[in-house]
Amino acid sequence: MGQLDGKVALVTGGSRGIGRTIAQAYLDEGARVVISSRSEANGKEALHSFDAGDRATFLAGDMTVRESVDQVVDGTVAHFGALDILVNNAGGIQTLGTVWDLSDDGWMDTINLNLHATFWATRRALPHMMAKGWGRVLNISSLEGKVGLPMISAYCAAKHAIHGFTKAVAKEVGRAGVTVNCLCPGYIPETDLARNIGADIAPMLGLGSVDDLSAMFAQQSATGRTPTLADCVGPAVLLASDAGASITGVTLSIDGGIAQS
């Protein structure tokens, strides 16, 4: 038996990277899983790789639009008849640059994708979990939710805010059998975000390449290496399972000891 047998999970931003890795792990543990992203092509490719039959499905959705977020949550319940686990993974860096050059739209695009999407999905999902007396909300943050990095102030602000949101909501729903936690991965070179945004950030930090950026994070870590997607699996499964019932309001770092909190 898997640790998540009989559970229904929704993973936003689940067609690539960390979200896709967590979705696969949940399927391996017996859950039924909905993944969501803006790209239908990426979603279908992910489903093909899962090879999970009718235990996995894809719902297209734009997490920067509240109505779309609501539709994805409601669609999960309509498709599988329940929603037990919500992974708020959709996120990213929309705009790079210094604060004095950052436009209102650039700021809000990043805040919407990271912070508002997490709020909207959690708000929509919680009544289903509370009605059953069991639920898990897992917010995917970042090392930048605990430290600062220049040129991505909006992203840092959104991820820091998600930590406060996680702790507050955990207090609100704990007695209803729902836990709310946050994973904070460090720089994972194998993700699209790290490769694409990292290539742009590196020269802004005076580094020659994205490989130099990876080396910088590895040097800062206690382990001497950057984390991998596989490093996210164990914590994500634990916090979604019965074994994690007494863990809530936690912001768990997966960064090799850089943040040390």
What pLDDT, on a 0 to 100 scale, did the predictor assign at position 60? 97
Mark out the alpha helices in the chain (DSSP H runs).
Answer: 17-28, 40-50, 66-80, 104-111, 117-132, 153-173, 192-204, 210-220, 233-240
Residue 102 lies in a domain: yes
Cα–Cα–Cα angle for 17, 146, 236, nearest 5°?
A: 40
Do 98 and 148 sit in the same domain of this protein? yes
Q: Report yes or no on 259 lying in a domain.
A: no
* pLDDT given at position 121: 98
Q: What contacts 208, CB < 8 A, 6 or more positions away?
A: 202
In a domain, 46, yes or no: yes
- Give the pair of three-digit tokens for residue 3: 């640790």
- Is residue 84 assigned to a domain? yes
| pLDDT band, residue 197 (cuts 50/70/90) | confident
d(CA 184, CA 94): 19
pTM equals: 0.97
For residue 30, the domain's CATH number is 3.40.50.720
- Asked whether residue 1 is domain-assigned, the answer is no
Whole-number pLDDT of residue 146: 96
Asked if residue 3 is part of any domain, the answer here is: no
* pLDDT confidence of residue 115: 98
Do residues 145 and 156 touch, judged by C-beta distance below 8 A?
yes
Confidence of residue 179 (pLDDT cuts 50, 70, 90): very high
Looking at 50, 80, 155, 165, which residue is catalytic? 155
Domain count, the chain: 2
- For residue 42, pLDDT over 90 is answered with yes
Q: How far is CA 247 from CA 11, 134, 244, in A?
A: 20, 14, 5
The pLDDT of 71-78, averaged and rounded, is 98
Reported as a single tens digit per residue, the pLDDT across 231-248 is 999 999 999 999 999 999
pLDDT tens sequence across 79-133: 999 999 999 999 998 888 899 999 999 999 999 999 999 999 999 999 999 999 9
User: Is 155 labeled as catalytic in the residue annotation?
Assistant: yes
pLDDT higher for 194 or 69?
Answer: 69
| Confidence (pLDDT) at 28 | 98
The per-residue pLDDT for 247 is: 98
Q: Residue 86 has what pLDDT?
A: 99
Q: What is the pLDDT of residues 12-26, one digit of tens each?
A: 999 999 999 999 999
Are 126 and 138 found together in one domain?
Answer: yes
Cα distance between residue 82 and residue 132, in whole Å: 9
Does residue 260 belong to any structural domain of this protein? Answer: no
Instruction: Looking at the structure, tell me whether residues 213 and 145 fall in a common domain.
Output: no
Range of the domain at 197: 191-226
